[in-house]
Structure 1
Amino acid sequence: MLHHPEPRSGEVVVSKKYKYLMVFLCMLTQAIPYEVAQTIQPLFVHPIVNTFHFTLASYTLIFTFGAVAASFTSPFIGKGLEKFNFKLMYIGGIVLSALAYVLFGFSTRLPEFYAAGILCMIGSTFYSGQGVPWVINHWFPFEGRGAALGIAFCGGSIGNIFMQPVTQALLSRYMTGNAKTGHLISMAPFFYFAGLLLVVGLIIACFIRTPKKGETVVSAAEIKASKASAAKKKASEFQGWTSKEVFRMKEFWIFSIGFLIIGLGLASLNEDYAAFLDTKLALTKVGLIGSMFGVGGLIGNITGGMLFDKFGTAKSMAYAGVMYVLAILMMIIISFLPFGNRMNMIAGCGYAIFTGLAVFSYMSGPAFMAKDLFGAKEQGVMLGYVGLAYAIGFAVGAPLFGMIRDNTSFTVAWSVMLVFVVIGFLLLVSAAIRIKHRQKVLINNGH
């Protein structure tokens, strides 16, 4: 837990403008280094599979291995941030991700691509997964932290808007043949992105930092108000169950299984969409659809927290489920149409908007649901288990989609993902309703 002593007399509190400069740098981190390290990688799937004659299922294991490696190393990186200089950790992550793209450029075999993917994901954890929250939590220990985190993570959606078409345009320049059957004639795009990630990351590293010793980021009045608010909130809110109590609840296991199944279905929407759309549209149009996803995600990230605050877990996640069902239906429609059909672009934009509007379900969703459903007593522990359920499903989902597609067709693969999403959200929402009912019973009984 971060320690923030009360300001001593005469100390100057850091201005809000400077604190929001740090927010902007975090947002820029998400928009370019994070975007290059993680979000644009699916756009390379189809060109790489065609160039080196891999199967879709075998190559998309790159996302599984990367996600597992990042999840395993994240706690250690978090501990490292407490012991070592943040700026050096940030630079280290940037260098690792840039080196990963260099390795991509020289790779010709699956193990080499897997190694590059793992290195890239671990690197991004330094400056994004752990780094961005670390910076925000230091500059906004009390008031404004939620808004600052929301603005910072919107950078990923903003980056999507311009990085997706730029990536597709660059790939088309170094490809021969059409989007469906074309292959790379050069691995130069990987080296360009390695340079972009490194240069932008190092520029950000020159300015981004945590507060120096002696700097005060909160006033005495803010600390007093925060303590009073926290005491009042603690007295009135549901305190929750311990993790041992939660594990004995069948609703928890239904909830977790539902979130895991949701991860199975959503992995394809995030990791395999480009490999599919490349078979139906020109690369530049796929890039425009990626931009539309960025716009949808920007709106979804901003409105998601509002939905959770106003409607709670069950209704908000039900809404997200409907959006994902509509998105997958768009993909199924496209799967029946020939390459270049006008309807492909219209349905593709529909997929992008529907998916973007629901991104809050797995971005801010786990943190909100852990406390809303299981209380604040062991919130951190429950967040870990809630996030783990989704992460396991997501890690398995991408290669599973590829395996189904390789043995059947895209239509069948998307239909299976649709079934996963429907079943997963039904389980999660029904479990959430029953858990909230348990809370009401306890509150009415005076516990």
Structure 2
Amino acid sequence: MDTVSEKKPVSNAYKYFMIFLCMFTQAIPYGIAQNIQPLFVHPLVNTFHFSLASYTLIFTFGAVAASIASPFIGKGLAKVNFKVMYMAGIIISALAYVIFGISSKLPEFYGAAILCMIGSTFFSGQGVPWVINHWFPGKGRGTALGVAFCGGSIGNIFLQPFTQKILAKYMVGGTKTGHLESMAPFFIFAAALFVIGLIITFFIRTPKDNEIVATKAELEEAKKAAAEAKAKEFEGWTSKEVMKMPWFWIFSIGFLIIGIGLASLNEDYAAFLDTKLSFGVVGTIGMMYGFGCLIGNVTGGILFDKLGTAKAMTYAAVMYVLSIGMMIFVSFQPFGSHASKVAGIAYAIFCGLAVFSYMSGPAFMAKDLFGSKDEGVMLGLVGLAYAIGFAIGAPLFGIIKGMASFTVAWYVMMACVVIGFILLIISVVKIKGMQKAMMAKQNK
């Protein structure tokens, strides 16, 4: 039988359903595996008498482990049935939460965090792009990816306050000194992650061999548009040439320092706010952070396209300075004050609006600054600089807090953000100048 006649086109509605499943993956399984973990920091530190610096190393170990595992997981996706890989990630992350629930020593928590981060790479970090790229091989891929990854921000809107309510139910004492009476929250979230992940697994998939996800005309149009864009784009330098540029190293150092400053805003905000506000209010602030991230992710690409790298990152810098300023303000307020609630919400919105700087920022900056010649390598190097800083930032914040106070720690993070962005923005301006000089020379 002629296999061509057996091929059938897939409706746009079904492809949109795949986007929804990816968005749902980001909202619940990924949200549980990654986004709500900072909310457990303060209760666990109080319960087991860990130092903040030692416990927050879970984020460092998790990030490093996921970075190492990610390339191998990517290769596995090309060889193993996607549903199997997706479910494997769900099981690993759910198991990690079970391990969290039976742990009492730091190495056990570290091991659980590593498993959780690696598991989420299966279904989120590698899984979501894998699905989207297969269902949208041509037109609409970028939009589909953007919508899918917005799920994480949407999930934050309700997961954050829900998590705080669950924790409050199993807490004894106030938010400052209270401890967990039971580790039941971990088992609740392990079950939720597994059940919802299992339901998604029944439906999510990549196209079958006999399914047409894009017409020949659409693929040709996409190929033509890509060729035209490639002809106009800056070819750039090789990675070896870039590595010899002093301004590249200043750029990387700046992005690394930014990572140090921003780690505390993402990983330590709940542990700090728990000392100043009730669980319910902290949950509300987490919800507002979700709204801010949703807007920030959607508008980030527009800002880069309209303003360019230097101006977009300057905008991000202002937002982060304002957000840390809110945290410093809260640190001087008495427990439960209305001013702290307002400042906390302002922090969440400011911080969320600038989230594009490290979400889509590395991919945009790598190509915009250094060209397309070694785009993949440069993306890895740019992302690595931020990742190293982020891995250092969370435990460093805890160390400073332990030696001094939260207020001093926030001042140090503010200094890191300001210094890092100054170095990055100056280097961006200098590299763009080198780029213009090179293009002018080529045109002659």
Confirm or deny that 1:32 pairs with 2:20.
no
Q: Deviations over 1:218-276 (max 9, x none)?
A: 11111111122122112221111110111111111111111100000000000000000
* Aligned-partner Cα distance in 1 for 2:111–2:129: 26
The DSSP-based 3-state class of the residue aligned with 1:83 is coil
Q: What is the CA distance between 1:371 and its match in structure 2? A: 0.7
Residue 224 of structure 1 aligns with an amino acid whose one-letter code is E
Other-structure match for 2:132: 136
Structure 2 equivalent of residue 231 of structure 1: 227
The equivalent residue for 2:391 is 395
State the alpha-carbon separation in 2 of the partners of residues 179 and 142 from structure 1: 50
> Structure 1: how far apart are the matches of 2:209 and 2:223?
23
User: Per-residue deviation at 1:434?
Assistant: 1.0
Matches within 5 A, 1:184-223: 184-223=180-219
1:290 & 1:62 partners in 2: Cα distance?
A: 20
Q: Which residue of 2 aligns with 1:420?
A: 416
Q: 1:278 aligns with which of 274, 277, 280?
A: 274
In structure 2, how many angstroms separate the alpha carbons of the residues matched to 1:116 and 1:9?
50
Return 398-407 or 206-215, whichever deviates more: 206-215
1:445 match: secondary structure: helix
2:301 matches 1:305? yes
Unaligned 5+ residue runs, structure 1? 1-6
Match of 2:76 among 71, 80, 90: 80
Deviations 1:353-399, CA, capped at 9 Å, x for gaps: 00000000111111111111111111111111110000000011000
Distance, in Å, in 2 between the alignment partners of 1:60 and 1:444 is 49
Q: How does 1:328-407 map to 2 (within 5 A)?
A: 328-407=324-403
- 2:86 maps to what in 1? 90
Q: What TM-score results when the alignment is normalised by the length of structure 2?
A: 0.98
Asked whether the 8 Å contact 2:73–2:126 carries over to 1, the reply is yes
Distance 1:54 1:41 in 2: 16
SS at match of 1:446: helix
- What's the CA shift for 1:183? 0.4
* Counterpart amino acid of residue 389 in structure 1: A
Query: Partners in 2 of 1:10 and 1:173 — Cα distance?
Result: 56
Alignment partner, residue 261 of structure 2 = 265
Q: Which amino acid aligns with 2:262?
A: L
2:236 aligned residue (235, 240, 258): 240
Distance 1:233 1:8, change over 3 A: farther
Q: Tell me which residue corresponds to 1:3.
A: none
- Quick one: distance in 1 between partners of 2:279 and 2:356? 28
Structure 2 letter corresponding to 1:149: L
What's the secondary structure of 1:221's corresponding residue? helix
User: How big is the shift at 1:142?
Assistant: 1.4
1:146 correspondence with 2:146: no
The structure-2 alpha-carbon separation of the partners of 1:88 and 1:308, relative to structure 1 and needing over 3 Å to count, comes to same
AA matched with 1:13: P
The alignment status of 1:106 with 2:102, answered yes or no, reads yes
Tell me, in whole angstroms, the C-alpha distance in 2 between the residues paired with 1:152 and 1:431: 32
1:159 to 152, 155, 160: 155
Alignment partners' CA distance in 2, 1:43 and 1:243 = 40
The 10-residue stretch of structure 1 (220-229 or 58-67) with the greater mean CA deviation from structure 2: 220-229
1:63 is aligned, of 51, 59, 65, to: 59
Aligned AA (1:435): I
Moved more, 144-153 or 229-238: 229-238
**Identical amino acids, percent of aligned pairs:** 70
2:440 is matched with 444
Contact 2:303 2:312 (C-alpha < 8 Å) held by counterparts = yes
Give the residue type in structure 1 aligned to 2:46.
N
Cα distance in 2, alignment partners of residues 93 and 129 from structure 1: 11
Deviation at 1:10, TM superposition (A): 7.7
**Is contact 2:8-2:210 (8 Å) kept?**
no
Is 2:32–2:189's contact at 8 Å kept on the other side of the alignment?
yes
